[in-house]
Amino acid sequence: MMTEPLLKVDNLSVGFPSKTGVVQAVTDASFEIHPGEVLAVVGESGSGKSVTALAVMRLHPKSAIITGDILFDGNDLLTVSEPEMRAIRGRDIAMIFQDPMTALNPVFSVGHQIVEAIRLHSDLSKQEAWSKAIDLLDLVGVPEPKRRASQYPHEYSGGMRQRAMIAMAISNDPKLLIADEPTTALDVTVQAQVMEVLHDVKDATGSAIMLITHDLGLVAGSADRVQVMYASRLFETGGVDEVFYESRNPYTRALLDSIPDLDVNKDRLDPIPGNPPSLLNPPSGCPFRPRCLMAIDQCADEVPQLTEVDGHHASRCHRIDDLKPVEVKS
């Protein structure tokens, strides 16, 4: 029997006012994350995946227009006071940001910054927190952690900085880790090492992970469930095998077809034609319609609903019944 959700998001919409109107970054997103699972959120740049994560952390600008509910461990994160939210951030929910070089303070040692994160949510002394910081660096695979703790961010490699960010994020044993493109700009070997660290941390602490990424290859070997976003909306959700091998959505299939496959002899990749639509002035009906090879007249008239396919597998498409559940990748 499935456990109660740790995070439950209902009909979340996030808009940003501009001089020419409201940029709708997230539209009616609903999903759950359960304890100990990895949920991957994938999509092209501008799809709304990072904005969704920032809304959960309540790190959006004050001008943002937000509706819906974000329930975490019994608390509505959109209505709790700012002091309560500050206590939840870092202690119960932690975020690993995309670029550790800008997230880490260059004028303080890495160990000092981890100590500050620890002491913000605990009563440990500086000496106790320093000892814990060294243990955390050791846990995430930083070599010579005692010496490395006294070094500064610029003295770390890209992979080591990301490990340090993970150590800081898990310093207070959060229930939910949000990893926003945690392997961007890292080579393939280091990417695999960072993801292995995240999984080791999950297994050791029982944390749930919300993985934000555009890398479908990363998702295949790391996630339990996946949701695909396009132009601010969830387009397909389900288990990794369901979405990757039995996709019932033209956008998801197009994404998968654009991935290099060493087992298939192809002279060129199959890019998705066109560009994502403007979030300020989206097309009528389905936002993927201008790029979709399966579009019909109905697609121009109404936005398709997110419809259950089977169990926890759902897709947003008027032509679900025309998409046979066959593997799109061997």
Instruction: Summarize pLDDT for 271-317 with one digit per residue, the tens.
Output: 888 999 999 999 999 999 999 999 999 999 999 999 999 888 999 99
Domain that holds residue 129: 102-173
Q: Over the stretch 80-137, which tens digit does the pLDDT of each residue have?
A: 999 999 999 989 999 998 887 788 999 999 999 999 999 999 999 999 999 999 999 9
Q: Over the stretch 240-268, which tens digit does the pLDDT of each residue have?
A: 999 999 999 999 999 998 877 656 666 66
pLDDT of residue 98: 80
Q: Are residues 160 and 306 in the same domain?
A: no
155, 173, 191: which is the final residue of a domain? 173
pLDDT of residue 2: 61
Q: How, if at all, do strands 65-72 and 75-76 pair? A: antiparallel
Q: Are residues 122 and 228 in the same domain?
A: no
Q: Are residues 22 and 56 in the same domain?
A: yes
Q: Are residues 223 and 296 in the same domain?
A: yes
Q: How many domains does the chain have?
A: 2
Q: Are residues 57 and 179 in the same domain?
A: yes
Adjacent-strand bridge partners of 94: 177
pLDDT above 90: residue 18? yes
Q: Over the stretch 169-211, which tens digit does the pLDDT of each residue have?
A: 999 989 999 999 888 777 888 888 888 888 888 888 889 999 9
pLDDT of residue 34: 95
Q: Over the stretch 22-40, which tens digit does the pLDDT of each residue have?
A: 999 999 999 999 999 999 9
The structure's pTM equals 0.90
